[in-house]
Amino acid sequence: MAERKLKFAIFGNQYNEQEVIPYLERILQYLHERGAEANVEPDDFGNADFVISMGGDGTLLRAASRIGDREIPIIGINMGRLGFLADVLPQEIEPTLEKVFAGDYDVEDHTVIECEADGQQIDTVPFALNDIAILKRDTAAMISIRTYIDGDFLVTYQADGLVISTPTGSTAYNLSNGGPIIVPTSNSLCITPVAPHSLNIRPIVINDNMVITLNVESRSHNFLVAIDGRSVKMAEGTQLTIRKAPYVVKMVKQRNRRYFSTLHEKLMWGADYRPLK
């Protein structure tokens, strides 16, 4: 029986085309030589076996949004800077694809969260791989965010905003606001305030099966909800519900690369820049 052709969909960084094109040509040539089918920026990823994301973590987030609940594994090629999600370097393209064809790779499941407004899905894409942030719109006044976990009152945050982060997003906006780094497989979510008014308010980690309910008050009578950076204006009094989505994002991972070594590399943990005496 003939081996089934693998199908790849390629999603690129549209803002950096000149840098991406030479690597795109390499990928297309390699896949052609292996007898695979490749489509660049297809309208529908539905029949692909793998999606190749070429860019930084932002490009990969957009690719994940396009894939939605189809759970097609993503190969993230890092054409950006930090690259927590897109962790395949340009010089590793062919060796990584070789391992994909050989089945020598792991697939890591990443939690997705979704947001409802007054019990209805919001107009934009309601799903986030990284985080959902509730933020003030004006430059002066804080917002009040009354927060419940599975119906139990937690606290009313007086702050510039609130970040609800997945483990994947824990190294993004959550981290810059003093939140903890969460291992991807920990089945947790983190709630982190942005510039809280009270110094005794700290981030809290909860089980990802819990449902978060938020009621927001604002002097400007509206606020922003940013879902993986896609912002939507909401009216004061809107009740937000955030919960785990009914699907995951699947990431192709090289077996010789571990999460903690990525932290050492990307965040320079343990590096000592003090001058030698």
Burial of 176: CB neighbours in 10 Å, binned 0-12, 13-18, 19+? exposed
| CATH architecture type of domain 112-246 | Sandwich (2.60)
pLDDT value, residue 159: 95
| Nearest one of 48, 43, 78, 46 to 60, comparing CA atoms | 78
Q: Which position among 43, 44, 49, 57 bears the catalytic label? A: 57
Full-prediction pTM beyond 0.85? yes
pLDDT value, residue 133: 97
User: Sign (positive/negative) of CA torsion 80, 114, 229, 14?
Assistant: positive
Q: Residue 4: how many CB atoms within 10 A of its CB?
A: 7
Q: Does domain 7-105+254-267 have CATH number 2.60.40.10?
A: no
Yes or no: say if 70 and 49 are a contact pair by the CB < 8 Å rule. Answer: no
Dihedral pair phi/psi, residue 85, rounded to 5°: -90, -50
User: Sign (positive/negative) of CA torsion 88, 90, 91, 96?
Assistant: positive
pLDDT value, residue 16: 67
Instruction: Note down pLDDT in tens along the chain; length 277 residues.
Output: 446 799 999 998 765 677 788 899 999 999 999 999 999 999 888 899 999 999 888 899 999 999 999 999 999 999 876 678 888 989 999 999 999 999 999 999 999 999 999 988 787 889 999 999 999 987 768 899 999 999 999 999 999 999 999 999 999 999 999 999 999 889 999 999 999 998 889 999 999 999 999 999 988 889 999 999 999 999 998 999 999 999 999 999 988 777 777 777 777 777 777 776 6
pLDDT value, residue 68: 93
Please confirm, yes or no, whether 57 is among the known catalytic residues: yes
How far apart, in whole angstroms, are the C-alpha atoms of residue 209 and residue 163? 17
pLDDT value, residue 92: 92
List the domain boundaries for the chain.
Answer: 7-105+254-267, 112-246
